[in-house]
Amino acid sequence: MRILVPVKRVVDPYAKVRPLSDGSGLDTTGVKFEINPFDEIAVEEAVRLREKQADIEIIVISIGTADCEEQLRKALAMGADRAILIETSHQFDSQGIAKELKACIEVEKPDIVLMGKQSTDFDCNQTAQMLAAKLDWPQACFASAVAINGSFVTVSRETDLGVETVEVPIPCVITTDLRLNEPRFVALPGIIKARSKPLDRVTPTATPAPLTRTLKIESPGARPPGKKVSSVEELVGELKNRGALPA
């Protein structure tokens, strides 16, 4: 069995970033980059599934510049077997990423695509769904538990009404949620071993113009100061004045 795990290079979620003065992007000077946290959970889950089923091969893939090798090597250190870097400086939107992943899947022929439900930079939460549609594969999103049962995968999903359990046939696309697992600490032996694991560099199949574009990035407005009120009537009056309640 083969599991493909897409990983994305993102700004460390705990880092503070500022927009560029012209609003064209973010100033990432001196900022640390990491694997997208949801993708790191997907890598961890793939490794845990392999620990239960030894015949699983784990392939990690990323789309971006040569800098993405750092995140791919970390995924290899966590336990992935090999990596693929679609090296490009072109900015892909979700549709373009889904097309590139589909092209890779047609070559690698994985049984399961296990990926984060969204990235922490753009928060689109749509690449996996687009990929499943292009492949005509079943999908199970927001997994909080994953188990392989022969030619099926059982996925538990946390919903507003409780835990929903679904079963999808292989091949399929699965996205991971935060409570699926906690990624392991990468020890030094794993980091050293990852240096010798194969990392293939390929070029994109195409560089289409994105269907969406960013017009401007700016910092959110300052939060207005709070105000103490002495009575319910004064509170209601303030809420009406600020448009939170009908006048």
Where are the domains positioned within the chain?
2-222
CB atoms within 10 A of CB 243: 8
Q: What per-residue confidence (pLDDT) applies to 211?
A: 85
Which of 137, 124, 105 lies closest to 211 in space, CA to CA? Answer: 124
Would you state the structure tokens that stand for residue 128, as one six-digit string? 């996996």
Q: Which helix (H) or strand (E) holds 169?
A: strand 162-169
Contact by Cβ (8 Å): 74, 35: yes
Q: Which amino acid is at 148?
A: I
Q: Which residues of the chain have pLDDT under 70?
A: none
Runs of H (alpha helix) within the chain = 37-52, 69-78, 94-108, 127-135, 188-194, 232-241
* CATH of region 2-222: 3.40.50.620
In total, the chain counts a number of residues equal to 247
Q: How far apart are CA 56 and CA 59, in angstroms?
A: 10
Residue with tokens 């794993």: 190
Would you state the structure tokens that stand for residue 215, as one six-digit string? 């017009």
Contact by Cβ (8 Å): 80, 46: yes
Q: What per-residue confidence (pLDDT) applies to 100?
A: 96
The overall longest dimension of the chain from CA atoms, in Å, is: 70
Q: How far apart are CA 114 and CA 97, in angstroms?
A: 15
Q: What per-residue confidence (pLDDT) applies to 207?
A: 87
- Cα of 188 vs its chain's centroid, Å: 25
Tens of pLDDT, residue by residue over 151-167, are 999 999 988 888 999 99
The strand order across the sheet containing 82-87 reads: 162-169, 152-159, 139-149, 172-176, 112-116, 2-6, 57-64, 82-87, 199-202
Residues ≥6 apart with Cβ < 8 Å to 235: 229
Would you state the structure tokens that stand for residue 3, as one six-digit string? 């599991």
Q: Which helix (H) or strand (E) holds 58?
A: strand 57-64
CB atoms within 10 A of CB 153: 24
Q: What per-residue confidence (pLDDT) applies to 221?
A: 84
Q: How far apart are CA 33 and CA 112, in angstroms?
A: 27
Contact by Cβ (8 Å): 40, 60: no
